[in-house]
């Protein structure tokens, strides 16, 4: 049986993006064999924008669309780089990819790995996954302002939620929960204030929930979730929430599991119309870029999610195992980005 070649688009991006992506690719190749991976690199980000004035053209989007999956590093200029409008690269590259390629589910696991230090005194056993909706909510760019720049300015931002968009991430969360031991979904929202959106989310969770009798589900206001995530994060199994709440909650989840340096994610197109995209949750960290100081673990774990989702479950398991083992023996000696990648690749 001839094995298909895994055809990847690589978007290393800015700052530490290229360094961590290189290690993720190294480990991925170690896991399924160098000859079984084909990569095409797309040089998007701050430099490309400064040279060309382009963020991500339709032609480039079309080219990327032809690949099976995308391995993404990070985009974003240094905060003090006044040449680049704040947020431009994030919106016109990262968010544009998520929206154009219909990444319905932003899949973000939170695990407290052995050997990893949580800022919590008693973190307990943390092992949950956040299903963050990826194409709706406050992220749709449906805002505007009037009398801009005056003392009579009004600036609005509209969160748009559709039954179609909510239903698919809800269903994905229940399906995933069904395969887990605890089989429990927790919806986070703020339905006492956001009545209409909250009502929609509640309704769909109740409807879809009935199709999964083995899966239990409950509801928490997003503010109350802050308290549980710091006092008893072990209670969560699968967290389901909208785009903005998901953004906030997954950073807290990353923090309590030892930091953003380990948080991986998959932006999943779940109907096969475009490639999914795998990226570490951390940003471009321009302050430590190019110094081999960045921890490539989040990028490597993102490559493991890629393998899992793209049909290489065995290889994904091996990468995860290698990461667990590497984390367990990490001490305070600092290794370079490359050394971490080498060690994990060797163990795979």
Ligand X SMILES: CC(C)[C@H](C(=O)O)[C@@H](O)C(=O)O
By the criterion CB under 6 A, which residues form the site for ligand X? 90, 94-95, 192-193, 223, 247, 281
**Whole-number Å distance between alpha carbons of 249 and 299:** 20
The item of ligand X, a copy of itself, none sharing an interface with residue 158, based on CB under 5 to 8 Å by kind, is: a copy of itself
Structure letter (DSSP) for residue 336: -
Q: Which is nearer to a copy of itself, 61 or 255 (CB)?
A: 255
**Whole-number Å distance between alpha carbons of 178 and 182:** 8
- Decide: helix, strand or coil at residue 73: strand
| CB-closest chain residue to ligand X | 90
Residue from 22, 78, 226, 317 in contact with a copy of itself (CB under 8 A): 226
Stretch near a copy of itself under the rule CB under 8 A, chosen from 8-16, 88-96, 285-293, 315-323: 88-96
Residue 4 binds to a copy of itself (criterion: CB under 8 A): no
Return all residues near 149 (Cβ < 8 A) that are at least 6 apart.
Answer: none
Residue 194 binds to a copy of itself (criterion: CB under 8 A): yes
Residue tagged active-site, from 42, 113, 139, 278: 139
The item of a copy of itself, ligand X, none sharing an interface with residue 347, based on CB under 5 to 8 Å by kind, is: none
Residue 158 binds to a copy of itself (criterion: CB under 8 A): yes
- Which value, to the nearest 10 degrees, does the dihedral of the CA atoms of residues 70, 73, 77, 79 take? 130
Residue 206 binds to a copy of itself (criterion: CB under 8 A): no
The item of a copy of itself, ligand X, none sharing an interface with residue 298, based on CB under 5 to 8 Å by kind, is: none
Residue 54 binds to a copy of itself (criterion: CB under 8 A): no
Return all residues near 194 (Cβ < 8 A) that are at least 6 apart.
Answer: 159
Work out how close the CB of 125 gets to a copy of itself at its nearest, in angstroms, rounded to a whole number: 15
Residue 139 annotated to the active site: yes
Work out how close the CB of 280 gets to a copy of itself at its nearest, in angstroms, rounded to a whole number: 14
What Cα–Cα distance (Å) separates residue 47 from each residue in 42, 77, 143? Answer: 12, 9, 28
Work out how close the CB of 109 gets to ligand X at its nearest, in angstroms, rounded to a whole number: 14
Q: Do residues 107 and 310 make contact, with C-beta atoms less than 8 angstroms apart?
A: no
Work out how close the CB of 318 gets to a copy of itself at its nearest, in angstroms, rounded to a whole number: 30
- Which value, to the nearest 10 degrees, does the dihedral of the CA atoms of residues 169, 309, 174, 251 take? -60
What Cα–Cα distance (Å) separates residue 56 from each residue in 10, 50, 78, 94, 95? Answer: 14, 13, 19, 9, 11
Residue from 173, 197, 299, 316 in contact with a copy of itself (CB under 8 A): 197
Neighbours of 290 (CB within 10 A): 11
Q: Counting Cβ atoms within 10 Å, is residue 78 exposed (0-12), middle (13-18) or buried (19+)?
A: middle
Residue 223 annotated to the active site: yes
Q: Which is nearer to ligand X, 220 or 307 (CB)?
A: 220
The item of a copy of itself, ligand X, none sharing an interface with residue 203, based on CB under 5 to 8 Å by kind, is: a copy of itself
Residue 167 binds to a copy of itself (criterion: CB under 8 A): yes
Neighbours of 108 (CB within 10 A): 25
Residue tagged active-site, from 102, 247, 295, 326: 247
Binding mask 113-132 for a copy of itself (x = CB under 8 A): -----xxxxx----------
Neighbours of 327 (CB within 10 A): 18
* H or E stretch covering 299: helix 297-309
Residue 251 annotated to the active site: yes
Catalytic residue annotation: 139, 190, 223, 247, 251
Site for a copy of itself, rule CB under 8 A:
86-87, 90-91, 95, 118-122, 138-139, 141, 143-145, 147-164, 167, 190-200, 203, 222-224, 226-227, 230-231, 244, 247-252, 254-256, 259-260
């Amino acid at each position: 049986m001839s094995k298909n070649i895994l055809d990847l688009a690589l978007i290393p991006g800015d700052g530490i993006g290229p360094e961590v992506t290189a290690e993720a690719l190294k480990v991925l190749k170690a896991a399924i064999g160098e000859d079984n991976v084909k990569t095409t690199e797309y040089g998007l980000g701050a430099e490309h924008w400064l040279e060309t004035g382009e963020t991500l053209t339709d032609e480039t989007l079309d080219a990327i669309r032809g690949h099976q999956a995308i391995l993404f590093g990070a985009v974003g200029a240094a905060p003090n780089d006044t040449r680049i409008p704040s947020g431009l690269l994030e919106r016109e590259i990262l968010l544009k990819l998520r929206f154009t390629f219909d990444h319905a589910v932003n899949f973000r696991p939170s695990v407290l790995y052995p050997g990893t230090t949580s800022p919590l005194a008693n973190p307990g056993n943390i092992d949950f996954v956040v299903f963050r909706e990826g194409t709706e909510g406050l992220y749709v760019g449906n805002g505007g302002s009037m009398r801009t720049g005056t003392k009579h300015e009004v600036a609005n931002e509209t969160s748009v939620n559709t039954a179609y968009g909510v239903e698919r991430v809800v269903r994905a969360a229940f399906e995933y929960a069904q395969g887990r031991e605890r089989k429990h979904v927790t919806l986070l929202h703020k339905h006492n204030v956001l009545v209409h959106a909250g009502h929609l989310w509640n309704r769909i969770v109740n409807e879809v929930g009935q199709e999964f009798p083995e899966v239990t589900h409950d509801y928490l206001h997003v503010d109350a979730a802050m308290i549980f995530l710091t006092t008893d994060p072990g209670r969560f199994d699968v967290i389901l929430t909208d785009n903005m709440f998901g953004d906030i909650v997954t950073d807290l989840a990353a923090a309590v599991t030892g930091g953003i340096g380990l948080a991986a994610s998959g932006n999943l197109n779940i109907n096969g119309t475009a490639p999914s995209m795998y990226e570490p949750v951390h940003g471009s960290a321009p302050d430590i870029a190019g110094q081999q100081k960045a921890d490539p673990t989040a990028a490597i774990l993102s490559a493991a999610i890629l393998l899992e989702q793209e049909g290489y479950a065995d290889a994904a398991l091996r990468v995860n195992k290698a990461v667990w083992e590497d984390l367990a023996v990490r001490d305070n000696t600092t290794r370079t980005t490359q050394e971490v990648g080498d060690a994990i690749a060797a163990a795979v």
